[in-house]
Structure 1
Amino acid sequence: MSTTTHETRIDVDPDVPLVRITREFDAPPAKVFRAHTDPELVARWLGPRGLEMSIDHYDCRTGGSYRYVHRRGDEEYGFHGSFHEVRPDELIVQTFTFEGEPDGVALEKLVLEDLGDGRTRLTSTSLVDSFAARDAFVASGMEVGVREGYERLDEVLAQG
C-alpha cells in the first residue's frame, strides 16, 4: 500500500515564543482526530522511528491527562500533560511537559480543518514561556520526530 507524504511546515513566530506546525493528511478530520485520541493508534505513530512507545495512561477528553514514555535501548524519555479542551474532529488543547525538563510546560493547540475530498489540514501550535525555551525546543531535534511521526501517521491512516 502506498502512502502520500505531504510537507510538514515548522515555523517559529518572531513575536511570541511559539512553534507552529502545519501538515495536510489524505484522510477526513474524524480519522485524523481518532489517531490523536485513541491510545492504541497514538502508540503506533507518535514520535520518531526507532523509538518504542509505552503509554501509562491516555484519557483524551476535556479534563483528562496523559503520560507516555519513548525508549531506545537503555534511554527513556517521559512526557505528560493535561487535556484542557477536546472537541471531536476539530480541536485538542493540552499541556505538554518533557520530564527531562520538568519546569518547561508548553501549551499546545491542535486544530483540524476539513479541506474536502477526504483531506485534512492539521495546524498545531506550541507556546512556551520564553524565546530561549522555544529555541532549545526547536534545536532539540524535535523536527525529526515531528516529520517522522507524521510520516508514520500517514501509514496508520492509509491502513484504515
Structure 2
Amino acid sequence: MTSTTKHETQIVSDPDVPIVRIIREFDAPPAKVYRAHTDPELVAQWMGPDSTQTRIDQWDCRTGGSWRYTAIHEGQEYGFYGSFHELRPDELIVQTFTFEGMPDGVALEKLVLEDIGGGRTRLTATSLVDSFEGRDGFVASGMDVGVNEGYAKLDELLARG
C-alpha cells in the first residue's frame, strides 16, 4: 500500500502528570506497524532524525527482554537502553526508555496499536517520566524533530512493504 497522505503527529504534554503522549496514524495494518517497532533491522531503518544513524547493539524482543541502540550524529555516539515489560503482537508494547547521558531519567512507555480500518493503524505512545522537569527536558531536547522525521521514514518503510 503506497501512502500519499502525510499524517500529522500529535505530541501532547499532560498538565497534571509528567506524561508525553504521541498520537500518529499509519497507512498500514497493526501487524506491520508492530513488526516495524520490534524487528531490530527495521527499527534501525527508521528510528530517529534524518541526520542520525541508528545502530542496534542488543535486542531481545520478548516480554522480560532488553534492548540497546546507539544514535550516531556527526561522529558523536549517544546510547539508549531499556527493557521490554510486555509485548502483545499487533496491539501493545510496554517498555522502559533511558538515555545513557541521563541515567536517572527513566521513562515508562506504552505503545498501543489500534486497527482503525482500511488497513490503517493509530499508534498512541504514552511516556511517563519521573518528574515534570524530566518530561519538559525530554520534550525540549528536539524530540519532535526525531519523532516526526522518524515517522516519515517509517511511512516510507511501511509503503515499501
Range of TM-score over shorter length: over 0.9
Shift of 1:3: 4.2
Match of 1:69, SS state, is: strand
Distance 2:21 2:157 in 1: 23
TM-score (norm 2): 0.97
Total equivalences in the alignment: 160
SS of equivalent residue, structure 1 residue 123: strand
**Partner in structure 1 of residue 30 of structure 2:** 29
Q: CA RMSD in A?
A: 1.0
1:130 paired to 2:126:
no
Q: State the shift of 1:5 in Å.
A: 2.0
Q: Residue type of the partner of 1:8?
A: T
Runs of 5+ in structure 1 lacking a partner? none
- Secondary structure of the structure 2 residue equivalent to 1:4: coil
User: Counterpart in 1 of 2:69?
Assistant: 68
Q: Percent identity?
A: 74
Tell me, in whole angstroms, the C-alpha distance in 1 between the residues paired with 2:76 and 2:41: 22
Q: Could you list the runs of 5+ residues in structure 2 that have no partner in the other structure? A: none
SS in 2 for 1:31: helix
* SS of residue matched to 1:47: coil
Q: Given that residues 11 and 21 in structure 2 are in contact (C-alpha distance below 8 angstroms), is that contact kept between their aligned partners in structure 1?
A: yes
The answer to whether the aligner puts 1:101 opposite 2:102 as a matched pair is: yes
Alpha-carbon distance between aligned partners in 2 of 1:64 and 1:106, rounded to the nearest angstrom = 16
Given that 1:3 and 1:158 are in contact with CA atoms closer than 8 Å, whether structure 2 keeps it comes out as: no
After TM superposition, give the deviation of residue 4 of structure 1 in Å: 2.7
TM-score (norm. length: structure 1): 0.97
2:65 maps to 1:59: no
User: Which 10-residue stretch deviates more, 70-79 or 16-25?
Assistant: 70-79
Counterpart position of 1:117: 118
Partner of 1:92: helix, strand, or coil? strand
Native 8 Å contact 1:4 1:154 kept in 2: no
Q: Do the aligned partners of 1:3 and 1:154 also contact (CA within 8 Å) in 2?
A: no
The answer to whether the 8 A contact 2:30-2:90 is kept is: yes
Q: Distance in 1 between matches of 2:11 and 2:123?
A: 12
